[in-house]
Amino acid sequence: MRTIEIFDTTLRDGEQSPGVNLSLNEKVEIALQLERLGVSRIEAGFAAASPGDLLSVAEVAKRVKDATVISLSRSKTVDIDKSYEAIKHAVNPGIHVFLATSPIHREHKLRMSKEEVIENAVASVKYAKQYVSHVQFSCEDAGRTEIPYLAEVVRAAIAAGATVINLPDTVGYLTPAEYGNMFREIRRMVPEVDGIKLSCHCHDDLGLAVANSLAAIEAGVTQVEGTINGIGERAGNTSLEEVVMALETRKDYFNVHTNWHLKEIARTSQLVSRLTGMIVPGNKAIVGANAYAHESGIHQDGVLKEKSTYEIIKPETVGYKSNLLVLGKHSGRHAFKGKLEELGYHLESEQIDKTFAEFKILCDKKKEVTDDDILALIDAKMAEQEELYSIESIQLAYGNQTTPTASVRIVTSDGVVREEASVGNGSVDSIYKAIDRAVGEDFTLIDYRIVSVTTGQDALGEVFVRLQQGELFSQGRGVSTDVLEASAIAYVRAINKLIKQRGDVFEPIA
């Protein structure tokens, strides 16, 4: 039975989703969870894009021990140098070089001839090979490249030392039949591919990314690229959890397997959703809130009699379980530490102490503290570690016959206190205007969402905001039993990320 390697690009291609801007700590947290999930290769970022990206790739490279940590590079020596600088301390380092090959890209973007593209590809692969043994070469827009010419490029890249060849459907244009046929033709025309890994990477512009990836597996590829929850720019990427569960559920058909720890799927999906602020739709396959719900009377009757009548996947398989009371106000630090380890967190003693103190405060506010509460608490504490501004206090005056007024007290990272007040069209509006005055800048709020982390009147509320200032976008999230406090925290965190971006801007790649 063939093993299909999973190449996760949530931290690179996924982060290119509009408005998503993960901090260094958030990227490390996702990378460590991907490792627990069983991902073979983690594309940690595009090191040459910015100093911040290089730093985050380097930190992921230091922390991840089992998976290959990869940095993306254009076919330029300066990019490859930056990639190696970022991943050189990884246990298993890799460099991913790409160059467009389709006629439309050769003519309009690269302005290169066919010969020049091959020459450039060969030179970049050889250059990367001086640094690391794991070199992946991608023919960007392979799906719209003439197959005979694509075969020439693939053969040349393999001869230059590429150990993985990726043929992406960059714009999500192909049908499953066409995409599968492309790989069959390349395998027929370039026998050398039998000695390397052949990889697929699909975008979801026509909603065919998962279907195309499965077609590629049928055509012989041994690596699938994508993201958790299918996030990514435009319509997103291949949803990895959908591919893996399709292979697992229909093992009789595909006759392949992956090395994923399936019970980590739900936790990984929820973590990525929380940290990116991209809510998973309720009807999303595998990880959606309704994926295992049955409302139809006929369905309910069938499931009660025999689950397999309408359930082809057990929710427990991907890690969903009943959310019971786990800890309470009388729980000690040792029990709390044990729960953190059960949830996959291995924090330093100082971090445990700080989080435990917040846990005790939460216990006084909530009757029941669940796994989801603790996960939200940890995520919130980790987000605080890189803040320029933080909320110290909020005061509100509100009545349905009066003008809402808010006063805020903000503290900078160097201890400066700023206090301001403002009126607004509602409580949230007045808080945000007061924060703008305290910071001394104006920001445009383009998205605001509230999500209940758990159930009940004392549930934690999670607020996601998305801000714009000029051409820059950022997102922030806040968690509290008070949604107004969560709203303020989310807004300030989005401001922190946006300010950081201003000195750390780069142009996203396709």
Distance CA 412, CA 416 (A): 5
The letter for the amino acid at 428 is: V
Distance CA 115, CA 82 (A): 27
The letter for the amino acid at 132 is: V
Residue among 212, 170, 169, 163 at smallest CA distance from 192: 163
Tell me, yes or no, if the two domains 2-276 and 387-502 fold the same way: no
Sign of CA dihedral 331, 334, 338, 343: positive
Give the single-character DSSP code of 315.
G
Helices (H) and strands (E) in the chain, counts: 17, 16
For 471-501, what is the HEC assignment?
Answer: CEEEEEEEEECCHHHHHHHHHHHHHHHHHHH
Q: Please state the CATH superfamily assignment of the domain spanning residues 387-502 in this structure.
A: Alpha-isopropylmalate synthase LeuA, regulatory domain (3.30.160.270)
Distance CA 137, CA 139 (A): 7
Distance CA 136, CA 327 (A): 46
Distance of CA 83 to the CA centre of its chain: 20
> Exposure of 294 by Cβ count < 10 A (0-12 exposed, 13-18 middle, 19+ buried)?
middle
Q: Under a CB-based contact definition with an 8 Å cutoff, are residues 400 and 459 in contact?
A: no
Distance CA 459, CA 472 (A): 33
Burial 25-59 (b: 16+ CB within 10 A, else e): bbbbbbbbbbbebbbbbbbbbbbbbbebbbbbbbb
Give the single-character DSSP code of 105.
H
- What the block records as the tokens of 300 is 């309910």
Instruction: Looking at 219-296, list the stretches that DSSP marks H as alpha helix, in order from N- to C-terminal side.
Output: 240-249, 251-254, 265-276
**What is the structure's pLDDT at 117?**
97
- Chain position carrying tokens 């046929």: 181
Domain boundaries, the chain: 2-276, 333-383, 387-502
Distance CA 309, CA 303 (A): 6
Distance of CA 452 to the CA centre of its chain: 21
The two most distant CA atoms of the chain are separated, in Å, by 77
> Exposure of 341 by Cβ count < 10 A (0-12 exposed, 13-18 middle, 19+ buried)?
exposed
Distance CA 377, CA 258 (A): 32
Distance CA 183, CA 221 (A): 8
The DSSP code sequence of 124-156 is HHHHHHTT-SEEEEEEETGGGS-HHHHHHHHHH
The letter for the amino acid at 405 is: T
Phi, psi torsion values for 172, nearest 5 degrees: 60, 40
Q: Under a CB-based contact definition with an 8 Å cutoff, are residues 198 and 187 in contact?
A: yes
**What is the structure's pLDDT at 380?**
64
**What is the structure's pLDDT at 478?**
86
Distance of CA 200 to the CA centre of its chain: 19
Distance CA 154, CA 185 (A): 12
The DSSP code sequence of 16-57 is GSTT----HHHHHHHHHHHHHHT-SEEEEE-GGG-HHHHHHH
| pLDDT tens across the length of the chain (510 residues) | 899 999 999 999 999 887 788 889 889 999 999 999 999 999 999 999 999 899 999 999 999 999 999 999 999 999 999 999 999 999 999 999 999 999 999 999 999 999 999 999 999 999 999 999 999 999 999 999 999 999 999 999 999 999 999 999 999 999 999 999 999 999 999 999 999 999 999 999 999 999 999 999 999 999 999 999 999 999 999 999 999 999 999 999 999 999 999 999 999 998 999 888 888 998 999 999 888 875 545 554 564 566 667 678 988 999 887 544 456 777 788 878 877 777 767 777 887 888 888 888 877 776 667 777 777 777 666 655 557 898 999 999 988 888 999 999 999 888 899 999 999 999 999 999 999 999 999 999 999 988 876 666 666 788 989 999 998 888 888 888 889 999 999 999 899 888 887 764 444 343
Q: Under a CB-based contact definition with an 8 Å cutoff, are residues 363 and 369 in contact?
A: yes
pTM of the predicted structure, to 2 decimals: 0.83
Domain topology for 2-276: TIM Barrel (3.20.20)
